[in-house]
Chains A and B, each alone.
Chain A
């Protein structure tokens, strides 16, 4: 019987090697472990053994059984892996076929820039304020120290609205048929509206649309501005420089240089224009910067005392500074679009680029 068991084991292990399919494996298993299987038969014959033989043969029989069981499990697993490997091979795809990209939209490039500007100033504690785009002359000009006969009004080519009977001044009663409404030429009137309604300290930015009669490769009749205003008991020109230096560093990078140039705005004194080193040539001079190495990006200055008078702030008690920038211009330092009117065609080939 011992020999018989050893023969079965050897025969079964040999047969397993030749098995190639799950079916063959199963029939082989039945050949040995089935109800009429060879090993089953031998086990059944154990009863005929003498008491003396039984322990040794029994032990051997169990060993054979264990060995074969493990061998069958191993073979099963190997066959499974082999089959899986075949399947995986059959399933390989052409990875150069197109991906099924979920549709996603993109914010307009001017809005992307506007949001970046907003984010930088909001970190410095500036809150967003808004105001109407159809304005009174009072807010757009007069309250900003730009009376009707001021030559600075020539710098703004203003869109006026057909008269409908408006009032000229906020304190006036009723509407005046003669008075004008215009499309604001800058977002600065919101400065006045905010100060009229709020005590200092004020720390706001005003993002929004503004309008001027202008239409060429570098001007659109509607454009976006971000205006900033800080009013406090001790706001200085040096703080204006600090705020704008932080902005420039975050917006344009650490390596970007900035310079303050004296300029004129009716509602700030002292006034400045701010240039940054040209983003195209890094300040060496090129066509984009008119070979100066500098590009103007901002107008700014200390709030003119006349503006404080207009909103009933006392210029002896508060000082402040304001700044304003054109969003398209800043966007275009990065994008370098030759004709900025392209921004407002909403051509999808354009919008998808940003």
Chain B
């Protein structure tokens, strides 16, 4: 909401500069988002009087003007505007002025004649939006004083503060409300508008009656009638006030309602009295019009001021005349009863509506008006009459007309004032302060609360405009706010520190992340959303449960419309993004929750949110420099990463076996199993997956179930003696059938050597001319070692021979010489 300094000063005196005021309000909880000096754009523009006009010697369409700007010498200004006349007052942009459109006025010669400034139009001054007028020079009233800065002459020398009012403070959605906050800060007195009504003889009750059929939605409804008004333009002061805070000008009647809305925060609505249905069968008290506040009939129609036809429901409150709805209560008036140039009698409404009902209706109809904004946050039932009277007075003043005697005020929902108990020691306990009760009392008084002290007990009466204050804690906040948060001491917590339960998850996550970072992979973080086509793109089986994803009802875009069930599509997209930007050394991982349906990880939620860690290697790895050239990653790079993850989690009993996930190359993929549980999968992306992500090179992927690792990780370690006796190493190259997996001979070696085989390392695999077709050569280094003695050559040879024999016997392996 916008307020201006000059306008505020009509309600309270204060000696603060605009920036000081902004600072104080901000520290009271009314954040000032911007400070705008209204006339700032008009600096250098003054009121000038065109004294004489001569033709331009070299141009037909230009004239030479002598312009008095209140200085000793008149200025010669070349002008081409059709409406320039001698004696007129017009804005003059003096030399050096920068106009709002960016043009800087310089001393210049136009067709050989010197021009010492520029006579301006509204448009050139950026005023067209405010003061509509024909093209040509802006004509200023002859009463303006010559030489005065234009901003001042137009009443634009004001400062606009843009305020952010929090939802709990509807009372501050008004100038008077903000003035009350300034009172709390400065202690200065409030100057409320003096309302002095000139009423005629006709009793309002002869003009109108009000019935509230839905008191639960409308606790108070009041009205006045003003007759014989003349609808027209508002006076300049009123237009300026409204425009300065960004409210559009319409006509004197509507402008008054908007002015009072800004002043008191109370929305008023003006009906054209004669467009309300006549009561044919006269009411008991003789009234001619009847206002009924009721729920709309289901399906009832109403065309509002914005010319939109609404179909209403019985949850919605309307203001009706004797026949039909004439306004959507608290939101917008009806089109058919609006004020027009022909209006002569006005029925002015001021009411209090139940906030949640207004909110629900406005939301259902997609409407948001100044009125609904205030009613749904909570207007002040206590302001209904003062605002009505103020509005009626202004209408009578500005539009002529006379006021019927009295007002109708139906108030079925009147509540006693809220009384709260305040314990000063509780205030200090909650805040950590040592305030005197008298200080608290003074603060609450300045905020408009009434405090009564009896034996150290404080009884606080809450004013009607503070509907947000309902509890002692709310009073404590008020005291803290005005006392100043910065004045509250800064201390450290004194309480016990709770002892944490052990958290294996943290350890597993930390270890995996450290390992992946140390192995050269960058951490990615992706949105939890993805496109529903991602499952197709990574070729998941039709019956893969990962295809069942949660859908957003209001997604930002199709690309962000479901929640991820796997991290792989995001990483493939990241690879694609980088490839598109010529970055080809792609090594990324991500650790994040995914969203699975139908599980029961938390008893109260049908959504499972297990954590996953996934990674991608693609393009090239290595430094790409002399001495460390790029190379393409392969299956065994990703397998190494997978084995590293398992190692840092202390896992040893797992098996890695080929699987058949269509995401991967059918001969280059595997799963990691612990007993029968799948911990993760990895492999080379299927060529069609690469095509789907427009990757021109192979990509290697892994994805692990962090939950499974948390459950099985083993971090406890026991010392193993460092070998005392020397190792004996023997190399062994064997030729076996090409389809023998490399870990089969290895397992046989271990099995044969028992505890005497410390390690077996595969150091070469060879297929080619040197071995027969259909065969391959595998070369191992076997390390023999005994924990109890130095192994003799003889003993090692015997053992090694047994190994060779067993390989030959079980695999037909021949020694390769």
B157-201 near A? 1/0 per residue, CB < 8 Å: 000000000111100000000000000000000000000000000
In the bound complex, how far is the Cα of B492 from the Cα of A125, in angstroms? 12
Residues in B with CB closer than 8 Å to A127 are: 498, 500
Q: Within 8 Å of chain A (Cβ to Cβ): is B721? A: no
Q: Within 8 Å of chain A (Cβ to Cβ): is B356? A: yes
Q: B490, A245: Cβ atoms under 8 Å?
A: yes
Q: Within 8 Å of chain A (Cβ to Cβ): is B429? A: yes
Q: Within 8 Å of chain A (Cβ to Cβ): is B606? A: yes
Within 8 A of B (CB), among A194-242: 201-203, 209, 211, 213, 215, 220-222, 230, 232-239, 241-242
Stretch at the interface among A11-19, A54-62, A67-75, A131-139: A131-139
Q: A264, B29: Cβ atoms under 8 Å?
A: yes
Whole-angstrom distance from the CB of B639 to the nearest CB of chain A? 17
Q: Within 8 Å of chain B (Cβ to Cβ): is A177? A: no
Q: Within 8 Å of chain B (Cβ to Cβ): is A347? A: yes
Stretch at the interface among A34-42, A84-92, A152-160, A332-340: A152-160
Residues in B with CB closer than 8 Å to A79 are: none
Q: B581, A236: Cβ atoms under 8 Å?
A: no
Stretch at the interface among B129-137, B299-307, B524-532: B524-532
**Chain A residues touching B, range:** 35 or more
Q: B607, A269: Cβ atoms under 8 Å?
A: no
B474 (CB) vs chain A CBs: closest residue: A269
Q: Within 8 Å of chain B (Cβ to Cβ): is A77? A: no
Q: B527, A262: Cβ atoms under 8 Å?
A: no
Q: A201, B376: Cβ atoms under 8 Å?
A: no
Within 8 A of A (CB), among B468-494: 471, 473-474, 476-477, 480-481, 485-486, 488-494
In the bound complex, how far is the Cα of B480 from the Cα of A237, in angstroms? 10
B509-531 near A? 1/0 per residue, CB < 8 Å: 00001001111111111111100
Which of A150, A221, A304, A346 is close to B473, meaning CB atoms less than 8 Å apart?
A304
Within 8 A of A (CB), among B769-785: none
Residues in A with CB closer than 8 Å to B359 are: 149, 151
Within 8 A of A (CB), among B26-45: 26-29, 31, 33-34
Residues in A with CB closer than 8 Å to B26 are: 261
Q: A344, B525: Cβ atoms under 8 Å?
A: yes
Q: A234, B495: Cβ atoms under 8 Å?
A: yes
Within 8 A of A (CB), among B566-603: 574, 577-578, 581, 583, 585-589, 593, 595, 597, 602
Centre residue among A152, A237, A319 by max chain B CB count within 10 A: A237
Q: A272, B506: Cβ atoms under 8 Å?
A: no
Residues in B with CB closer than 8 Å to A262 are: 27-29, 477, 480-481, 485
B527-548 near A? 1/0 per residue, CB < 8 Å: 1110000000000000000000
A107 (CB) vs chain B CBs: closest residue: B523
Within 8 A of B (CB), among A70-128: 97-98, 100-108, 110-111, 124-125, 127-128
Stretch at the interface among A25-33, A161-169, A276-284: A161-169
Residues in A with CB closer than 8 Å to B627 are: 97-98, 100
On chain B, the number of residues with a Cβ less than 8 Å from chain A's Cβ atoms is: 95
In the bound complex, how far is the Cα of B173 from the Cα of A8, in angstroms? 118
Q: Within 8 Å of chain A (Cβ to Cβ): is B16? A: no
Q: A166, B493: Cβ atoms under 8 Å?
A: no
In the bound complex, how far is the Cα of B576 from the Cα of A170, in angstroms? 43
Q: Interface of chain A, helix or strand or loop or mixed?
A: mixed
Question: How many residue pairs at the A-B interface have CB separations less than 8 Å?
Answer: 257
Q: Within 8 Å of chain A (Cβ to Cβ): is B497? A: yes
Q: A162, B485: Cβ atoms under 8 Å?
A: no
Q: B27, A261: Cβ atoms under 8 Å?
A: yes
Q: A111, B628: Cβ atoms under 8 Å?
A: no
Whole-angstrom distance from the CB of A45 to the nearest CB of chain B? 53
Q: B526, A221: Cβ atoms under 8 Å?
A: no
Residues in B with CB closer than 8 Å to A329 are: none
Residues in A with CB closer than 8 Å to B488 are: 237-238, 241, 260
Q: Within 8 Å of chain A (Cβ to Cβ): is B652? A: no
Which of B477, B529, B585, B623 is close to A269, meaning CB atoms less than 8 Å apart?
B477
Within 8 A of A (CB), among B2-22: none
Residues in B with CB closer than 8 Å to A234 are: 429, 494-495
Q: A264, B168: Cβ atoms under 8 Å?
A: yes
Residues in B with CB closer than 8 Å to A351 are: 522-524
Q: A132, B607: Cβ atoms under 8 Å?
A: yes
Given the interface pairs A162-B552, A221-B529, A351-B523, the reply to whether A151 lies near B28 with Cβ below 8 Å is: no
Whole-angstrom distance from the CB of B92 to the nearest CB of chain A? 31
Q: A170, B433: Cβ atoms under 8 Å?
A: no
In the bound complex, how far is the Cα of B524 from the Cα of A103, in angstroms? 16
A352 (CB) vs chain B CBs: closest residue: B522
Residues in A with CB closer than 8 Å to B604 are: 136, 167, 170
Within 8 A of A (CB), among B413-449: 429-433
Whole-angstrom distance from the CB of B567 to the nearest CB of chain A? 12
Stretch at the interface among B230-238, B456-464, B553-561, B756-764: B553-561
19 contacts between A and B (CB under 8 A): A98-B627, A104-B520, A106-B522, A108-B525, A127-B498, A163-B553, A232-B493, A241-B490, A261-B26, A261-B485, A264-B168, A269-B473, A269-B476, A269-B477, A270-B485, A290-B33, A305-B471, A305-B473, A343-B525
